[in-house]
Structure 1
Amino acid sequence: MDLQLDTAPCGYFSLSSAGIIQSANRTLANMLAYERDDLLGKHIESFLSVTNKLFFHTYFYPFIQLYGQVGEIFLSLRASDQLDIPVLLNGVRQERDGETFIDCVVVEMRKRLEHEKDILKTKKQLEELYEATNEANKKLERLHQEYEIKQQELMNVNHLLETMALTDPLTGLKNRRFFQESLLANIAAYHRARTPFSLFIIDIDHFKSINDTYGHPIGDLVLTKLAQLLRAESREIDIVARFGGEEFVLILPGADRDAAVPVAERYRSKIEATPMGDYRITASIGVATIAPEETDQTVLHKADQALYHSKASGRNRVTHAVDFNK
């Protein structure tokens, strides 16, 4: 990094597509009271409050994926002393050497916030003066109504962006990102209260032959019909998501191995017996139940290995990771 960028009067950092800080200038490190090496390799969300993390998920990531850039986002970065530093952020998505990066600059907003507080104070005084006349009251009422409309429009846009970011567009189920966040949440609940859960990976048997024989529109129809079946058969507390391709995943809170396997068998038999339009399919299922030493990666790996065993054993069957490893 050249000296001019390193000492520029604004913070600079570059993120990988996964949100990992790849580079940062000295100004940013000084702003957050960290050594530069303390920033590199960390996820940007390590320096955000819970509220700002939510804002990043519902606005920043979807917006920069859709439009390639984000301008003038107001949020706070968390310094080493755990105090929040209000900043204005601009970001742009760029390709370098075949990889995607998000380059960002941030400018501290403390002085501006003080000015805004003064402006708000003055505005309040003006409003009190205007309230002396009926005409002013009418104008204020109209302004308030316009504000409420714009606020609702903003909430609607944010809700739409959040839904788009967490929903599979073909099937309408939750997507892989939502599943992974839910898996981490269920693991945290397990470690906190020992609440068990089981994980299913459901894979359509011979799905490639459906696409090759009947075409991708029929394949998409089968995926959509299966998604409808899984949603209809699941409980409200269950997580049902499309993992990718012809694979679907389910998280069943409260289900240990003895409870999970019969449920998986019910799904398997229901899939086999239910027409998907003019077609019928079967599915293989791999099941894993959380254990004290598990991480999100290990429990997912065990379910995947159990699925592989179901496939290798003739398909259209259920295998639990415990039984497979005996």
Structure 2
Amino acid sequence: MDERLKYAPCGYVSVTNQGVITYMNQTFLDMVEYNQNDLLHQHIESIMTVANKFLFHTYFYPFIQLYGYVNEVYLTLKSSKDEDIPVLLNGRRCERDGIELVDCVFVHMRKRIDYEQEIRKSKKEIEKAYEDKNEALVKLESLHEELEMKQRELIVLNEELERLATTDGLTGLKNRRYFLEELNKNITLFSSSQSPFSLLIIDVDHFKKINDTFGHLTGDEILRGLAKIMTSISREIDIVARYGGEEFIILLPHMDKAAVKQQAEKLRSAIEKTKCADCFATVSIGAATFTDEDTDISILAKADTALYESKNEGRNRVTHADELVENR
């Protein structure tokens, strides 16, 4: 491998389609504080937190397989000392010597830490200036201004990092990571108050055919149009997110089975009647309502099974997971 790549100013890792590491540069090894022998031929998920393993497995792999690339995925890696390492990940599928690989670039999010260190330094200088009032009056005012400026910069940086970490770049909707956090909050609320909630998984019918017929730019425009329809029909308390590819997901607090079925039909009908990017699209919807027996994994699985049933029954329809149990 090129010696310049070995010490590039960002971490570089090459993995197989199954996530097994085949190469990493020295910059990445220094970032995670491992030796090459520790990670070579190991699974990339072995140095991720549990939450990020789920995000990586359910979002990164499918997106790479569908589009061939992933940009700006916010992850937390685990160092050999079990310390959190916040990174932005870009990935791209490639082929070398007849073998399909995924090249990954990891950028350490050091800037935020640097800002915090600068603020702490400014505070210490202010304390020193107060000890020597006769000499520090003018400098003190200047340091106050510098501190306020850096605090404003840190606020802006934090807001931007939060936006990147929780927003889908194509549609402007919340992303899978944000949705999963909100799902767990609703599960906690359900445990304490039995407040009902439901969710919908929505898949665009024949989306590959749309892309093949009209092109990916039109496909992207359709996804943006569908996102606007879903947002306009949903309540302010609903969480509308892009699940990945042509799939969307909506979390609906305080909605039982009957209410969520009506909401899903309303959404399906509106999409069917609305032209996006000069063409009409339809969606298949799977619905599920949380129960005492459910977990975050099971409620998603139930909605996904209901979605699969909607597709099997001809698409452009809504199926609630409870209907599958009732019809057995």
In the superposition, the TM-score normalised over structure 2's length comes to 0.65
Shift of 1:67: 4.8
Shift of 1:165: 1.1
Contact preservation (8 Å) 1:287, 1:321: yes
Task: Name the residue aligned to 1:141.
Answer: 141
Q: Distance in 1 between matches of 2:322 and 2:109?
A: 47
SS where residue 231 of structure 2 aligns?
helix
Shift of 1:232: 1.2
Shift of 1:189: 1.1
Task: Name the residue aligned to 1:84.
Answer: none
Q: Distance in 2 between matches of 1:155 and 1:325?
A: 49
Contact preservation (8 Å) 2:126, 2:140: no
1:19 alignment partner, one of 41, 49, 54: 49
- List runs of 5+ in structure 1 lacking aligned partners: 1-10, 21-42, 75-87, 89-112
CA deviation string 1:33-87 (max 9, x = no partner)? xxxxxxxxxx96xx99xxx9xxx6xx8244899753356997xxxxxxxxxxxxx
Contact preservation (8 Å) 1:62, 1:161: no
Contact preservation (8 Å) 2:204, 2:246: yes
Shift of 1:300: 0.5
CA RMSD of aligned residues (A): 3.2
Question: Using a 3 Å threshold, how does the CA distance of structure 1 residues 253 and 12 change in structure 2: closer, same or farther?
Answer: same
Q: Distance in 2 between matches of 1:295 and 1:68?
A: 34
Q: Residue 127 in 1 paired to residue 153 in 2?
A: no
Q: Distance in 2 between matches of 1:72 and 1:315?
A: 47
Fraction of identical pairs, as percent? 45
Which amino acid in 1 is paired with 2:48? Answer: A
In the TM superposition, 1:298-317 aligns within 5 A as: 298-317=298-317
Question: Using a 3 Å threshold, how does the CA distance of structure 1 residues 305 and 144 change in structure 2: closer, same or farther?
Answer: same
Computing the radius of gyration from Cα coordinates, the structure with the larger value is: 1
Q: Distance in 2 between matches of 1:126 and 1:244?
A: 53
Task: Name the residue aligned to 1:69.
Answer: 108
Q: Distance in 1 between matches of 2:179 and 2:287?
A: 16
In the superposition, the TM-score normalised over structure 1's length comes to 0.66
Task: Name the residue aligned to 2:211.
Answer: 211
- List runs of 5+ in structure 2 lacking aligned partners: 1-31, 40-44, 51-76, 91-103
CA deviation string 1:83-110 (max 9, x = no partner)? xxxxx9xxxxxxxxxxxxxxxxxxxxxx
Shift of 1:129: 2.6
Shift of 1:144: 0.9
Contact preservation (8 Å) 1:286, 1:304: yes
CA deviation string 1:140-198 (max 9, x = no partner)? 11221111111211221121011101111000101111111111111111112111100
Task: Name the residue aligned to 1:189.
Answer: 189
User: What count of residue pairs does the alignment treat as equivalent?
Assistant: 240
Contact preservation (8 Å) 1:63, 1:70: no
Which amino acid in 1 is paired with 2:127? Answer: K
Contact preservation (8 Å) 1:201, 1:250: yes
Q: Distance in 2 between matches of 1:283 and 1:270?
A: 10
Contact preservation (8 Å) 1:302, 1:321: yes
Shift of 1:310: 0.7
Task: Name the residue aligned to 2:229.
Answer: 229
Shift of 1:320: 0.5
Question: Using a 3 Å threshold, how does the CA distance of structure 1 residues 156 and 320 change in structure 2: closer, same or farther?
Answer: same
SS where residue 279 of structure 2 aligns?
coil
Q: Distance in 2 between matches of 1:72 and 1:239?
A: 30
Which amino acid in 2 is paired with 1:18? Answer: M
Question: Using a 3 Å threshold, how does the CA distance of structure 1 residues 72 and 145 change in structure 2: closer, same or farther?
Answer: closer
Contact preservation (8 Å) 1:198, 1:290: yes
Shift of 1:18: 3.0
Shift of 1:277: 2.4
Shift of 1:271: 0.5
Task: Name the residue aligned to 1:157.
Answer: 157
Q: Distance in 2 between matches of 1:148 and 1:315?
A: 56
CA deviation string 1:200-229 (max 9, x = no partner)? 001111111100001100000000000111
Contact preservation (8 Å) 2:196, 2:253: yes
